[in-house]
Amino acid sequence: VARVCVLRGGATERTFAMLKPDVAKDSATVNGIKAMIDGAGLTIEREERCRLSRRQCETFYAEHAERSFFPDLVRFMSSGPVIKLELSGSDAVKRWRTLLGPTNSAVAREKAPKSVRALFGTDQQRNAAHGSDGVESAKRELSLMFK
């Protein structure tokens, strides 16, 4: 395993991905995003569809509690089903963040037109999917979301 990691140039990691309520209800979009995950060489280790409570969304996005967009973000994230995914692969955290594209889907369409947020998101809130921003936050988010 170690040799394979060296040859590929990246550590095998796990990360947390979540398809948000703006896309999770649409099976064609869900399948499209899963195909992109597969195409990027990432493996879906675990998948769960659920609806998050406001409280769960507040905990998940606790680092943004003081931001003006927080109440609206919590309302959006608890407004319908989400799909929680555990992804694995070499450099999984960065690989999934790159595939996601910039936070704002309008910016993503400018800067990364083939990214998930460019193709399937709407704006800076309804941006199709989440991805952990580092190995430590991936651990926190995976343990929070897969109990």
Query: Whose Cβ is closer to ligand UDP: residue 45's or residue 133's?
Result: 133
Its sign, for the CA torsion 130, 53, 138, 49, is: negative
Distance CA 81, CA 113 (A): 26
Distance CA 12, CA 96 (A): 13
Angle (CA) 42 134 3, round 5°: 50
Please select the residue that binds ligand UDP; options are 46, 124, 135, 144, rule is CB under 6 A. 124
What is the closest distance, in whole angstroms, from the C-beta atom of residue 140 to ligand UDP in the complex? 13
- Interface with ligand UDP by CB under 6 A: which range of 2-10, 32-40, 105-113, 127-135? 127-135
Distance CA 87, CA 13 (A): 8
Restricting to residues 70-109, name those near ligand UDP by CB under 6 A.
73, 103
Q: Are 93 and 87 spatial neighbours (Cβ–Cβ below 8 Å)?
A: no
* Binding site members for ATP: 20, 69, 97, 103, 117, 127
- Residue 111's identity, in one-letter code, is K
Q: Residues binding ligand UDP: what is the number (CB under 6 A)?
A: 8
Distance CA 96, CA 39 (A): 11
What is the closest distance, in whole angstroms, from the C-beta atom of residue 46 to ligand UDP in the complex? 20
- Concerning whether 64 is annotated as a catalytic residue, the answer is no
Please select the residue that binds ligand UDP; options are 92, 130, 138, 141, rule is CB under 6 A. 130
Active-site residue, from 105, 130, 142, 145: 130
> What does the binding site for ligand UDP look like in residue numbers (CB under 6 A)?
69, 73, 103, 124-125, 127, 130, 133
